[in-house]
A and B are shown apart, each in its own frame.
Chain A
Amino acid sequence: MKFTGTAHRYGRDVDTDVIIPARYLNTSDPVELGKHCMEDLDAGFVGKVEAGDILVAEENFGCGSSREHAPISIKAAGVSVVIAKSFARIFYRNAINTGLPIMEAPDAVDGISDGDKVTVDADTGLITNETAGVSYQAQPFPPFIKDIIEGGGLVESLKAKA
């Protein structure tokens, strides 16, 4: 899978309460959740994000609540992939399970500015900042997790086993 889009860059400790505030958790409808993505961190996010765009953040992205509504909301808002220096562990699992591609790539995060055009090859882990003309190599997933992703998420891989 290859994605190209505009980078939207944020800092460290982006928590799930700002990704999708709890006041919207009385539904699990992806369309509804997508409308409020990142609302409490950047109220203008949903207005500016375009399908295929890339979310870039520093350490501990997705910390806090276990709400799967967070990756669902990011995906529904049109984001193709999240690149961060590190991910909080529940968010990491949830992203894999819900089919939201994520990349752990501290160097790439340091080399990407807000608004840069970025291309991500999720299969090879190669991240290219097209604006700056620089490429970075992301940490590959362990094979066990790659199998889940390639199987189409956790539920799909369970179905395959059944």
Chain B
Amino acid sequence: MTRAMTITEKILAAHAGLDSVEPGQLVNCKLDIVLANDVTAPISIKEFAKIGVEKVWDPSRIALVPDHYTPNKDIKSAEQAKMVRDFAREQDISHYYEIGCMGVEHALLPERGVVVAGDVIIGADSHTCTYGALGAFATGVGSTDAAAGMATGEAWFKVPASIKFNVTGELGPWVSGKDIILHIIGMIGVDGALYQSMEFTGDTIERLGMDDRFTICNMAIEAGGKNGIIAVDDTARAYLTGRAEREWVEYASDADAEYAAVYDIDAADIVPTVAWPHLPSNTRPVAESREVVVDQVVIGSCTNGRIEDLRIAAKVLKGRTVHPGVRLIVIPATQAIYRQAMNEGLFDIFLDANAAVSTPTCGPCLGGHMGVLAAGERALATTNRNFVGRMGDPKSEVYLGSPAVAAATAVAGHIALPDDLT
């Protein structure tokens, strides 16, 4: 009999052609999807050329998404985007997404059914771990690993030990997936899961919709995690049905699988949370952050730019206007989310509130464009990182929070809960 395994170990074993694997073992895995974006793909393309193969291993299994500095921010960005476009054409890459069809990669690929349960996915973007919400093993790598993956369809991994986060009970009002993951990162630190897999279980997680699950797995990297993962259930099946472009495989952890640590978390202990500068682990309750006055609020990104995020923001903003001292920028993460938000009337709510609504882009999250901060400015963002200089000048500050907190903060002018608003 093979050893009891976690979901992550099972997926890696299956892709390495092995009956079982154990933490620490080095394995070579077949890849299902290799991803890169307009910042990371140019280096991948240069490295790919050095490998000496003419064609990518499978043009239908490579995804190239120009989303970071697009629509092109400046001439250098335009050159990088063009390099990716030219490579996609030359290699007949089927999953290349041009402006007008694109979206923020980690919202786009699940939405289009490109990544599915049971996959092994590498992406030259650290938030590739998002797809774990679909029961896949997905992890961020650098451009050279992605180039090797494009050439060979394989990558090596050290099988990670797993940490289980078992969340049970009812969440309080305005507590979302973002608050769950910020709570966890605050608890274990930015290297609390270094080199390890973060597996999320429990009835609280089971009751969450896919958008909250994507948010949770998206930020596994902010705890140093190799991947975040949630086993497939009816919610995930319903999401995959009709959009998965390949058959998916469901894996689940054995009841007696070994974990490096197990955290039992009572959902009632999780409150609306913000991460203060300059680490995602520097968390405090919103209730203890109300003195923080902000200049800008950003609602969007691969963490929180999905339709449910926009609905929550709209619910808070409906009939209200943004504080005169605040700039609110709302960025639907994909074209489909953009259209859906428009059709549901959310744009009217945002525009009536004096928010700017942008075409999909990673833009301000990484201080790229579409909302860069000046020295001394402060933002509350639904994004994933608040490092020094992340959103602009090294003397600016970023606070991380949920869409509900972001919308309330935009109206109040300082960090706030929706219930604070009159």
Q: Which residues of A contact B (CB under 8 A)?
A: 13, 15, 17-18, 21-23, 25-28, 39-41, 59-60, 63-69, 71-72, 86, 88-90, 93-94, 97-98, 142, 144, 153-155, 158-159, 162
Q: Does the CB pair A68–B40 fall under 8 Å?
A: yes
* A66 and B191 in contact, given A25-B39, A26-B74, A40-B388 (Cβ under 8 angstroms): no
Q: Does the CB pair A158–B141 fall under 8 Å?
A: no
Chain B nearest CB from A143 CB (Å) reads 9
Query: Which residue of chain B has its CB nearest to the CB of A97?
Result: B144
In the complex, 28 of the A-B residue pairs with CB atoms within 8 angstroms, ordered by the A residue number, are: A17-B366, A18-B387, A21-B389, A22-B368, A23-B372, A25-B366, A26-B69, A27-B76, A27-B80, A28-B80, A60-B224, A63-B190, A63-B224, A64-B221, A64-B385, A65-B385, A66-B141, A67-B39, A68-B43, A68-B142, A88-B191, A90-B140, A94-B145, A97-B145, A98-B142, A98-B144, A155-B47, A158-B51
Query: Which residue of chain B has its CB nearest to the CB of A143?
Result: B26
Q: Which residues of B contact A (CB under 8 A)?
A: 26, 39-40, 42-43, 46-47, 50-53, 68-69, 73-74, 76-77, 80, 123-126, 128, 140-145, 147-148, 151-152, 156, 190-191, 194-195, 221, 224, 226, 279, 366-368, 372, 385, 387-390, 392, 394
What is the number of contacts between chain A and chain B, taking CB atoms within 8 Å?
Answer: 137
Query: Which residue of chain B has its CB nearest to the CB of A144?
Result: B26
Chain A nearest CB from B83 CB (Å) reads 9
Within the assembled complex, what's the spacing in Å between the Cα atoms of A151 and B142?
18
Chain A nearest CB from B300 CB (Å) reads 16
Q: Does the CB pair B194–A142 fall under 8 Å?
A: no
Q: Does the CB pair A13–B190 fall under 8 Å?
A: yes
Q: Does the CB pair B145–A22 fall under 8 Å?
A: no
Query: Which residue of chain A has its CB nearest to the CB of B24?
Result: A142
- Interface centre among B141, B195, B387, B389, by most chain A C-beta atoms within 10 angstroms, is B387
Residues of B contacting A18 in the complex (Cβ-Cβ under 8 angstroms): 387-389, 394
Chain B nearest CB from A55 CB (Å) reads 17
Q: Which of B40, B80, B190 contacts A26 (CB 8 A)?
A: B80
Query: Which residue of chain A has its CB nearest to the CB of B27?
Result: A144
Within the assembled complex, what's the spacing in Å between the Cα atoms of A93 and B123?
13
Residues of A contacting B42 in the complex (Cβ-Cβ under 8 angstroms): 28
Query: Which residue of chain B has its CB nearest to the CB of A162?
Result: B52
Chain B nearest CB from A136 CB (Å) reads 21
Chain B nearest CB from A88 CB (Å) reads 6
Residues of B contacting A40 in the complex (Cβ-Cβ under 8 angstroms): 388-389, 394
Within the assembled complex, what's the spacing in Å between the Cα atoms of A158 and B390?
35
Residues of B contacting A89 in the complex (Cβ-Cβ under 8 angstroms): 194-195, 224, 226
Residues of A contacting B143 in the complex (Cβ-Cβ under 8 angstroms): 68
Within the assembled complex, what's the spacing in Å between the Cα atoms of A89 and B394?
25
Q: Does the CB pair B145–A86 fall under 8 Å?
A: no
Residues of A contacting B156 in the complex (Cβ-Cβ under 8 angstroms): 144
Q: Does the CB pair A90–B142 fall under 8 Å?
A: yes
Q: Does the CB pair B40–A66 fall under 8 Å?
A: yes
Q: Does the CB pair A25–B68 fall under 8 Å?
A: yes
Q: Does the CB pair A86–B126 fall under 8 Å?
A: no
Residues of B contacting A159 in the complex (Cβ-Cβ under 8 angstroms): 50-52
- Interface centre among B39, B124, B368, B392, by most chain A C-beta atoms within 10 angstroms, is B39
Q: Does the CB pair B191–A155 fall under 8 Å?
A: no
* A59 and B69 in contact, given A65-B366, A67-B39, A97-B145 (Cβ under 8 angstroms): no
Chain B nearest CB from A28 CB (Å) reads 5
Within the assembled complex, what's the spacing in Å between the Cα atoms of A158 and B318?
56
Within the assembled complex, what's the spacing in Å between the Cα atoms of A64 and B77?
22
Within the assembled complex, what's the spacing in Å between the Cα atoms of A41 and B394?
8
Q: Which of B47, B126, B388 contacts A90 (CB 8 A)?
A: B126
Q: Which of B80, B144, B367, B372 contacts A155 (CB 8 A)?
A: B144
Q: Does the CB pair A93–B194 fall under 8 Å?
A: no
Residues of A contacting B372 in the complex (Cβ-Cβ under 8 angstroms): 23
For the complex of A and B, list the 9 residue pairs with the smallest distance between their C-beta atoms, beginning with the closest.
A94-B142, A26-B76, A97-B144, A68-B142, A60-B191, A40-B389, A22-B366, A66-B126, A17-B387
Q: Does the CB pair A66–B194 fall under 8 Å?
A: no
Chain B nearest CB from A25 CB (Å) reads 5
Q: Which of B141, B195, B390 contacts A17 (CB 8 A)?
A: B390
